[in-house]
Amino acid sequence: MDPGHARRLLSEIPDGASVVDVGGGASPFPRADHVIDALPFDEAGAGSDRSCHRLLDAPVRYSRERWTRLDVCDRRPWPFADKSFDFAVCSHLLEDVRDPIWVCSELRRIARAGYIEVPSRVEEQSKGVENPRHAGYCHHRWLITGHADGLVFRHKPHVLHSVNDAIVAWLSPGWRVNPRHAVVCFEWRDGFEAREELEFNESRIIDELCAFASEARCLPELLVRVPLPLATRIRRYALYRRLAHGRR
């Protein structure tokens, strides 16, 4: 979760509110009273961001007893009654899972309000985030757009990686998408819409990707520098050079 948004939520959520973190096992939100994730409790904080509570210097409220391990896309209702929680946090999960529409329906069911954070299409349609040869993150399944009333999901197509006009930016070592443009943050109360935008025609898929990229390239301060020691930058350039030639 973006640290700035995490700190804001910590300050805004009432102390007496019941909070659930859905899919946060790799970096659980410390204010969560309960966590739902595929990872076991003993692997909490095993993600690339490590433990969120250490970054935020905040004590945790969840525990082994309040940790539910399950497949959130199993199409079986999660083991909680309707509106069991006052607030649900779901950060950097929906882009990964096979059925985000189902996950959103269960979020709406078990919580009265919530916060969702996902990578933006700007990030997912930029090369060099992980690898100069592919756009965004290799394991992400969806391109997600936030609107006033909800979220729209588009399948992240393989053709994205091979159409230059569909790429928002090419990131060299030491550069990244501006954090203002790198994530979609969506807050909801009393429900929200979640739908998949279906398209099977290759030409229309490419046209939509290119139209989005063309508009996104006009965003102010699209890229920002990441301070790197000289030795790290040299190693990163060497790595990207190997990857750009298809070597590991």
Tens of pLDDT along the chain (248 residues) come to 888 899 999 999 999 999 999 998 888 999 999 999 999 999 888 765 555 667 788 888 999 999 999 999 999 999 999 999 999 999 999 999 999 999 999 999 999 999 999 999 999 999 999 999 999 999 999 999 999 999 999 999 999 999 999 999 999 989 999 999 999 999 999 999 999 999 999 999 999 999 999 999 999 999 999 988 888 888 888 888 888 888 87
**Which 3 state secondary structure label does DSSP give 165?**
helix
- pLDDT for 44: 85
Long-range contacts of 229-233 (CB under 8 A, 24+ apart): 233/173, 233/174
**Model-level pTM greater than 0.95?**
no
As a whole number of angstroms, the distance between CA 177 and CA 168 comes to 10
- pLDDT for 48: 53
As a whole number of angstroms, the distance between CA 220 and CA 235 comes to 30
Q: What is the largest CA-CA distance in the chain?
A: 55
Asked if residues 175 and 227 have their Cβ atoms less than 8 Å apart, the reply is no
- Domain ranges, ordered by start, for the chain: 3-244
Question: What dotted CATH number matches 3-244?
Answer: 3.40.50
Instruction: Name the DSSP class of 92.
Output: S
Asked if residues 248 and 242 have their Cβ atoms less than 8 Å apart, the reply is yes
Chain length of the chain: 248
Encoded tokens for 104: 């959103």
- pLDDT for 76: 96
Angle among Cα 137, 139, 145 to the nearest 5 degrees reads 65
As a whole number of angstroms, the distance between CA 140 and CA 131 comes to 14
Asked if residues 46 and 54 have their Cβ atoms less than 8 Å apart, the reply is no
Encoded tokens for 201: 């025609």
Q: How many CA atoms lie within 13 A of 207 on its CB side?
A: 6
Cβ neighbors of 12 (< 8 A, separation 6 or more) are none
